[in-house]
Amino acid sequence: MEYGLGVDLGTTYTAAAVRHNGHAEVARLGSRRAEIPSVVFVRPDGRVLIGEAAERRGAEEPGRLAREFKRRVGDPVPLLVGGSPYPAHALMARLLEEGSRRGLRAFFLGARPEVVAELARRCARDYPGLVVAGYRDGYFGPAKHEGIVEEIRQAAPHMLFVGMPSPFKETWCERHRAALDVPLIMGVGGAFDVLAGYVPRAPRLVQSLGLEWSWRLAMEPRKLWKRYLVTNSEYLWLAAGEILKRRIGLAGRAGY
């Protein structure tokens, strides 16, 4: 038996299809519908609603509703929901809360040994329903990759959080995705340091302005200056060039 899942995450609607034994079937995401609205609603208690349920609640409290996911794919700026940023460590915390509620298993890979150990300890304390299936620091070479993959697979987690730099974590996760056999794999960058208490989170005012990146730069300048001031600038330059080329191309076709 073989299967595959394809998801079209659009600006307005999201649809999905499942390939089962060579045949593609549209997956029903909503009640009697093949598509659901691409919206997310964050309730006052932190629980997240999506699709039709989010649309209904958003009509009553529009400040807690977020749209336009497609343009945010790959965008380093946190998603704003109800005026508040939703960075990686906040999303990870929400998933841990949900995992605790459902009794799921989590594995943490990355960061320094003392950081990931403290993260595992805090998760066991703060999320009593969550099972910490295992953890391992991010200091290892290529010779240990196969063993680490097997360790994670044997632990059988429902969620794998990878707190390592880019682009290593993306390429490593994609290369070993099938062998890991984990339903949810999430790259979270420096979220381990934040949730373990080694890096303080920015004040609420800085968060609300979407400037948490500047706070992190101030906290860890030696680690992050090149990424924010060089790598991000290069990304913006390349992105601007790509946007300009597309707009020129569209203008040319319209004139023709």
More confidently predicted of 37 and 236: 236
Architecture of domain 89-195: 3-Layer(aba) Sandwich (3.40)
Residue 206 near residue 212 (C-beta atoms within 8 A)? yes
Residue 46 near residue 62 (C-beta atoms within 8 A)? no
Residue 11 near residue 17 (C-beta atoms within 8 A)? no
Structural fold of domain 3-75: Nucleotidyltransferase; domain 5 (3.30.420)
CA-closest candidate to residue 173, choices 157, 165, 158, 162: 162
**What pLDDT, in 10s, does the model give residues 156-195?**
999 999 999 877 888 898 899 889 999 889 888 888 998 9
The whole-model pTM stands at: 0.58
**What pLDDT, in 10s, does the model give residues 16-58?**
555 556 665 665 555 555 555 566 777 777 676 766 777 788 7
The position carrying tokens 């890096």 is 199
**Pairwise CA distance, residues 68 & 72, whole Å:** 7
Which uninterrupted H or E stretch holds 146? Answer: helix 145-155
**Pairwise CA distance, residues 157 & 103, whole Å:** 11
